[in-house]
């Protein structure tokens, strides 16, 4: 059974007693009459290292950017409902509070900042000058801004 040529990449060609580069057809090694493999410069060898090509996805970077933007916009639209729930239930809101309530995490961490800006723009929260230490281990104890809910309906 012969392997499917479309699924394989030809790295070398076997031609008589020679092994050739598939791209250039230059000899890699040749089998001598004495049964010993030799490189073009005459060095004796019993192994050949053939470099592996790194796997790459075939895609268009512009297409990925458009797809990423669309995915990010859909996530923010969905996540704004979570911010609305958190801000409606608490007088003060941090990015940690919102992240803990999310059912779908952001594709990249910087989207949390974008989400909080969108929530402020939509009138759900507003900035304060107050900060507190993050409760997330991955933040290494950095501080996060405390935002005031503009839609909290509990006891004032």
pLDDT digits (tens, 9 = 90+) for 117-141: 999 999 999 999 999 998 887 777 8
Burial grade of 155 (CB within 10 A; 0-12, 13-18, 19 or more): exposed
Residues 139 and 97 in one domain: yes
Indicate whether 34 and 82 sit together in one domain.
no
Contact in structure between 48 and 39 (CB atoms under 8 Å)? no
In a domain, 59, yes or no: no
Residue 47 lies in a domain: no
- Residue 151 banded pLDDT, cuts 50, 70, 90: very high
State the pTM of this model: 0.59
Alpha-carbon distances of 59 from 7, 35, 64, rounded to whole Å? 18, 47, 8
80 and 132: one domain?
yes
Q: Looking at the structure, tell me whether residues 77 and 37 fall in a common domain.
A: no
Show the beta-strand stretches assigned E in 81-142: 92-93, 125-133
What pLDDT was estimated at residue 121? Answer: 96
| Residues 89, 24 share a domain | no
Q: Which domain holds residue 29?
A: 11-42
| pLDDT of res. 68 | 86
Q: Tell me what the mean pLDDT of segment 6-30 comes to.
A: 79
**Structural domains in the chain (count):** 2
Whether 87 is in a domain gets the answer: yes
């Amino acid at each position: 059974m012969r392997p499917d040529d479309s699924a394989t990449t030809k790295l070398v060609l076997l031609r008589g007693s020679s092994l050739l580069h598939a791209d250039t057809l230059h000899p890699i090694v040749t089998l001598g009459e004495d049964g010993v493999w030799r490189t073009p410069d005459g060095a004796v060898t019993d192994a050949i290292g053939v470099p592996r090509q790194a796997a790459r996805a075939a895609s268009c970077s512009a297409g990925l950017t458009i797809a990423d933007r669309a995915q990010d916009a859909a996530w923010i639209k969905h996540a704004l409902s979570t911010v609305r729930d958190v801000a409606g239930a608490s007088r003060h809101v941090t990015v940690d509070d919102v992240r803990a309530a999310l059912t779908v995490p952001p594709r990249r961490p910087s989207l949390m900042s974008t989400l909080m800006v969108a929530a402020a723009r939509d009138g759900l929260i507003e900035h304060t000058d107050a900060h507190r230490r993050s409760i997330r281990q991955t933040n290494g104890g950095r501080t996060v801004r405390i935002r005031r809910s503009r839609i909290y309906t509990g006891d004032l």
